[in-house]
């Protein structure tokens, strides 16, 4: 594992609304090392996408605002960085791909133009050079007959092909970090597997670290090295994929894993965690998961546990149960 690439420390991204300030991301911590694939998992509305847009500094301000914390990318704080610097970073050092490949490409430009445009925004190269590099990129992401596709328009491609093109655009400047915001959610299952395979392969070949935002634990198991589980704007558990799946420590993670249907069991009804995700900012004190937790204790309602290391190294969990077990041991 390489050195630290991205370090998010106590990030707070709030949105100012008529009802007051809503903390969408409320003290988020995350470390991504060079060449690593980190999954960020959680339900809708837990702050995954806001975290990724915060790193890119693409949160519309207003209503969004950075209320605290820092985002260190190779030691440089992106929260404080000038907009001009951010424009250099975006697409060149950090890239992003979005959930909806059908709408992330400009319908009026050819596929080639859209890749060339990205290359020329960051590299001084002639149209011709950029164009031949675009062709290389398309081949790299597994597009056959790349010459034809280069001259084609988005509406002629299927969803899977478009997501491949998006990946080609995102990776053409060889970024060190790729943020993938639910890259396979809009695709059907066989295409999902192909795209995930492709991302894994590119990660191995180019060493680009990937921050994989998803709500699909299947995706995590398939490609990620490490997982961060988010709940209500905070990290509740992090660890390697193996640890999270085999020994989840936080009741929320346990619930998530229990709700995955298992092919060998014949159950009438799938497990689901009771209750709903609290509205951001509605839980003022105590553990944010307390209301839905089956192990809830008095302590949970009053004070928020810290993200503490568990017995295995690199595995951390934000739950009072851990500390109690440690005392018992």
Name the site residues for other proteins (rule: CB under 8 A). Answer: 56, 58, 86-92, 95-96, 98, 100, 103-109, 117-118, 121-122, 142-145, 148-149, 151-153, 155-158, 160-161, 164, 166, 169-170, 189-190, 192-194, 196-198, 217-219, 221-222, 260-263
How long a stretch of residues is the chain? 329
Q: How far apart are CA 245 and CA 288, in angstroms?
A: 22
Instruction: Tell the residue number behind the tokens 């204790």, with chain if given.
Output: 297
**Minimum distance of other proteins from residue 233's CB (angstroms):** 22
Q: Could you tell me the smallest distance in angstroms from the CB atom of residue 329 to other proteins?
A: 30
Least separation in angstroms between residue 61's CB and other proteins is 12
Q: For residue 304, what is the DSSP state?
A: P
CB atoms within 10 A of CB 311: 11
CB of 109: closest distance to other proteins in angstroms?
7
Checking 135-142 for CB contacts under 8 A at 24+ apart, the result is 137/168, 137/169, 137/171, 137/172, 138/111, 138/164, 138/165, 138/168, 140/168, 140/171, 140/202, 141/165, 141/167, 141/168, 141/171, 141/198, 141/202, 142/194, 142/198
User: Measured from the CB atom, is 222 or 237 closer to other proteins?
Assistant: 222
Q: Which is nearer to other proteins, 163 or 317 (CB)?
A: 163
Beta bridge partners of 228: 40, 238
Q: Parallel, antiparallel, or unpaired: how do β-strands 234-240 and 316-317 relate?
A: antiparallel
Sheet strand arrangement including 20-33: 20-33, 4-17, 64-73, 76-77
The least CB distance from residue 270 to other proteins, in Å, is 13
Is the omega angle on the peptide bond into residue 62 within 30 degrees of 0, that is, cis?
yes
Query: Which C-beta is closer to other proteins: that of 82 or that of 262?
Result: 262
3-class DSSP state of 106: coil
Please, which residue, 221 or 296, has the CB nearer to other proteins?
A: 221
The strand pairing partners of 70, in sequence order, are 9
Q: Which is nearer to other proteins, 108 or 267 (CB)?
A: 108
CB of 56 to other proteins, least distance (A): 6
Residues 317, 294, 246: CA angle, nearest 5 degrees? 45
Output 38 or 141, the one with its CB closest to other proteins: 141
């Amino acid at each position: 594992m390489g050195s630290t690439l991205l370090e998010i420390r106590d990030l707070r991204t709030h949105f100012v609304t008529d009802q007051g300030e809503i903390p969408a991301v409320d003290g988020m911590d995350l470390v991504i090392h060079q060449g690593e694939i980190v999954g960020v998992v959680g339900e809708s509305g837990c702050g995954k996408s806001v975290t990724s847009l915060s790193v890119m500094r693409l949160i519309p301000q207003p209503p969004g605002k950075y209320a605290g914390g820092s985002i260190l990318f190779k030691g440089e704080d992106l929260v404080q960085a000038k907009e001009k610097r951010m424009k250099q970073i975006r697409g060149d050092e950090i890239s992003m791909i979005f959930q909806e490949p059908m709408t992330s490409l400009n319908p009026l430009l050819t596929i080639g133009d859209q890749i060339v445009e990205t290359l020329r925004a960051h590299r001084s190269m002639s149209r011709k050079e950029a164009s031949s590099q675009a062709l290389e990129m398309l081949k790299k992401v597994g597009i056959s007959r790349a010459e034809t596709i280069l001259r084609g328009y988005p509406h002629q491609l299927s969803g899977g092909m478009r997501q491949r093109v998006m990946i080609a655009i995102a990776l053409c400047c060889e970024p060190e970090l790729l943020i993938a915001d639910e890259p396979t959610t809009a695709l059907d299952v066989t295409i999902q597997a192909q795209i995930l395979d492709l991302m894994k392969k590119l990660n191995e070949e180019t060493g680009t670290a990937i921050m994989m935002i998803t709500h699909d634990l299947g995706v995590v198991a398939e490609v990620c090295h490490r997982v961060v589980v988010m709940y209500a704007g905070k990290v509740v558990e992090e660890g390697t994929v193996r640890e999270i799946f085999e020994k989840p420590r936080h009741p929320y993670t346990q619930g998530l894993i229990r709700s995955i249907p298992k092919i060998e069991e014949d159950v009438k009804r799938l497990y689901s965690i009771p209750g709903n995700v609290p509205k951001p900012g509605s839980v003022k004190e105590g553990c944010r998961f307390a209301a839905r937790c089956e192990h809830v204790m008095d302590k949970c309602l009053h004070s928020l546990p810290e993200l503490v290391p568990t017995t295995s190294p690199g595995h951390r969990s934000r739950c009072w149960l851990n500390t109690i077990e440690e005392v018992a041991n």
